[in-house]
Amino acid sequence: MSATNERLLDAAENGIRLSGYHAVSFRDLADELGIKSSSVHYYYRQKEDLGVALVDRYSKRFFADVEKRAETAGTDEERLRAFCQTYRNALTGSDRICLCGMLGAETCGLPKALADRVEAFFNANIAWISDALNADMPADKRAARAAQILATLQGAMMVATSLKKHRLFDDIVGALFEKPKS
Amino acid sequence: MSATNERLLDAAENGIRLSGYHAVSFRDLADELGIKSSSVHYYYRQKEDLGVALVDRYSKRFFADVEKRAETAGTDEERLRAFCQTYRNALTGSDRICLCGMLGAETCGLPKALADRVEAFFNANIAWISDALNADMPADKRAARAAQILATLQGAMMVATSLKKHRLFDDIVGALFEKPKS
DNA sequence: TGTTACCTATCTAACGATAGATAGACACAA
DNA sequence: TTGTGTCTATCTATCGTTAGATAGGTAACA
A182 confidence band (pLDDT: 50, 70, 90): very low
Q: Which nucleotide is nearest to A5 (CA to C1')?
A: D5
User: Which of the residue ranges A69-78, B42-51, B90-99 has the most confident prediction, judged by mean pLDDT?
Assistant: B42-51
A120 confidence band (pLDDT: 50, 70, 90): very high
Interface test with A, best of B13, B137, B172 (most A CBs within 10 A): B172
Kindly state the average pLDDT of the residues A93-101: 92
Distance set, CA B96 to CA A159, A166, B83 (Å): 18, 26, 18
B182 confidence band (pLDDT: 50, 70, 90): very low
- Distance from residue B37's CA to nucleotide D7's C1', rounded to whole Å: 38
Helices A76-92 and A139-162, axial angle in degrees (round to 10):
20
Kindly state the average pLDDT of the residues B11-19: 96
Superfamily of domain covering B51-177: Tetracycline Repressor, domain 2 (1.10.357.10)
CB A38 within 8 A of CB A76: no
Q: What is the fold, at CATH topology level, of the domain defined by A48-177? A: Tetracycline Repressor; domain 2 (1.10.357)
pLDDT of residue A136: 79
A140 confidence band (pLDDT: 50, 70, 90): confident
Residue A96 gets the label, from left (phi > 0), alpha (psi -120 to 50) or beta, of beta
- Mean of per-residue pLDDT scores for chain B: 93
CB A29 within 8 A of CB A12: yes
Residue B125 gets the label, from left (phi > 0), alpha (psi -120 to 50) or beta, of alpha
CB contacts of B144 in chain A (<8 Å) are: 171-172, 174-175
Helices A3-19 and A26-33, axial angle in degrees (round to 10):
130
First to last CA, chain B: 55
pLDDT of residue B180: 54
Kindly state the average pLDDT of the residues A63-85: 94
Q: Which of A32-46, A107-121, A126-140, B161-175 has the weakest average pLDDT?
A: A126-140
Is the Cβ atom of A8 within 7 Å of strand C at any atom? no
Instruction: Give the one of B18, B106, B144 whose C-beta lies nearest to A20's C-beta.
Output: B106
pLDDT of residue A180: 54
Count Cβ atoms within 10 A of the Cβ of residue A102 and give its class: 0-12 exposed, 13-18 middle, 19 or more buried: buried
Instruction: Give the one of A22, A172, A175 whose C-beta lies nearest to B22's C-beta.
Output: A22
B179 confidence band (pLDDT: 50, 70, 90): low
Give residue-wise pLDDT tens across range B113-166.
999 999 999 999 999 999 999 777 888 889 999 999 999 999 999 999 999 999
Is the Cβ atom of B45 within 7 Å of strand C at any atom? no
Residue A136 three-state SS: coil
* Cα separation, A31 vs B96, whole angstroms: 35
pLDDT of residue A181: 41
Flag residues 49-68 of B with CB < 7 Å from strand C. none
pLDDT of residue B148: 96
Flag residues 35-64 of A with CB < 7 Å from strand C. 37-38, 41, 45-48
pLDDT of residue A109: 95
**Domain locations along chain B:** 51-177
pLDDT of residue A179: 62
pLDDT of residue A144: 92
* Cα separation, B148 vs B140, whole angstroms: 13
* Minimum-distance residue to D15 (CA–C1'): B25
